Amino acid sequence: MTDKTEIFAARKLYAVTGAGLFLAGLGLFLAYGFVMATGELLLPTLGHTAHYFIATGGAGIAAWGVALFLSRRHVAAAKTLAGATAFGFGLFALMRLAAAVGSPEMAASAGALLYVETVLFALLMAVFACARLNIKGAFIKNFMALNSGILSGPWYVLIWVSLLMLSNAVAPMGFLLAEALNPGSTGAFGPAAAVMTTAFLVGPFIGAIIYPYTGMSRLMGLMHAPWLIAVFVLYGAVSSPSGFMSPVTWFDTWLYAALATGIASLVIDALDVARYLIGQRRPVWKSAAFSEAGA
């Protein structure tokens, strides 16, 4: 991964994200203009005041997008803005996650879009957090080095990682897709599947920050810190009397499997991080990619 490729990718990220924010914010802002011009409310149950505040938020989002787009060629400004952008996307993801878990009415009306947005904004938060925090080397190069480092592990680690990918990424993505393609879906899959998918996808971004400094050390257990939230949500789904369908479905089976693997992984990770903190800081296994990360 060359520096030119890294710079090109970063500029594209800022340009596309900035343009998307600008268009979304402009749409929200112009919606109020439509209300003022026609006298008709786009959302009749909210009233003029709510449309006014929506337009105000839209103006702020549009300005955010413009700032992000213009900063793409200025390294210092881009890095500073990356922190604020990660914070903003984190709030977006948290708001949607709260709505998905705590507001059945919102979850029913928004459908699968709510969960897709939760995953999208969480990933954008992770990407821009890496742009702000990953000060040693290029992120894309470090991300690729991390993957190479994992693949350099012993066979039993690769089997375990494959099982985690199957139960905590592939399966929940499949349930989200099934829910999105089924107009009559009850939304039962959404919260647990969306939270598990998001937690799994955010983890590697944490690893890409740590890996250039420690290699495949025990500190890499922090990659799975977001799984704490996912396990909590999964446990809530398992313990809820209405959390299961009758007869038992594939989704029920997945809930138990994901909860079991998630808890097992967190226990292993907690022990690894504790051992790292008390002094066992050498890489668990060597990887040629570690020497290249951050170079």
Give the separation between CA 21 and CA 5, rounded to whole angstroms. 24
Has residue 244 got a pLDDT over 50?
no
Beta carbons of 197 and 173 less than 8 angstroms apart: yes
How far apart are the C-alpha atoms of 165 and 247, rounded to whole Å? 27
Q: State which residues form the domain around 184.
A: 137-292
Burial class for 268, CB neighbours closer than 10 Å (0-12, 13-18, 19+): middle
Asked whether residue 93 is assigned to any structural domain, the reply reads no
Residue 216: per-residue pLDDT: 85
Number of domains in the chain: 1
pTM of the model: 0.64
pLDDT at 251 over 90: no
Among 62-66, 101-105, 175-179, the range with the most confident prediction by mean pLDDT is 62-66
Cα separation of 125 and 205, whole Å?
10
Give me 265's structure tokens. Answer: 């992984």
In 10 A of CB 166, how many CB atoms? Answer: 14
Give the dihedral of Cα atoms 157, 163, 169, 170; nearest 10 deg.
130
Choose the most confident range, by mean pLDDT, from 51-55, 65-69, 121-125, 290-294.
Answer: 65-69
> Cα–Cα distance between 20 and 148 in angstroms, integer?
32
Say if residues 134 and 209 touch (Cβ distance below 8 Å).
yes
- The predicted pLDDT at position 274 comes to 93
Q: Note the pLDDT of residue 150.
A: 82
What are the Cα distances from residue 204, in Å, to 116, 176, 225?
19, 21, 11
pLDDT exceeds cutoff 60 at 221 = yes
Residue 181 pLDDT class (50, 70, 90 cuts): low
Q: How far apart are CA 121 and CA 88, in angstroms?
A: 9
Instruction: Judge whether 124 lies within some domain.
Output: no
Which among 78-82, 93-97, 124-128, 217-221 has the top mean pLDDT? Answer: 217-221
Inside any domain, residue 257: yes
139 has pLDDT over 90: no
Q: Is 165 part of a structural domain of the chain?
A: yes
Residue 85, pLDDT > 60, answer yes
Residue 176 belongs to a domain: yes
Has residue 17 been placed in a domain? Answer: no
Tens of pLDDT, residues 35-77: 777 767 666 666 677 778 888 888 999 999 899 888 888 877 8
Type of residue numbered 136: K
CA distance 145 to 289: 5
Could you give phi then psi for residue 123, rounded to 5 degrees?
-65, -45
Q: Is the pLDDT of residue 135 over 50?
A: no
Residue that wins the pLDDT comparison between 95 and 37: 95
Residue 94 lies in a domain: no
**Stronger pLDDT, 244 or 31, i.e. the higher one:** 31
- Which of the four pLDDT bands, split at 50, 70 and 90, describes residue 31? confident
DSSP code for 47: H
At 169 the three-state DSSP class reads helix
Q: Is residue 167 part of a domain?
A: yes
Residue 219 has pLDDT above 80, yes or no: yes
Query: Does 282 score more than 50 pLDDT?
Result: yes
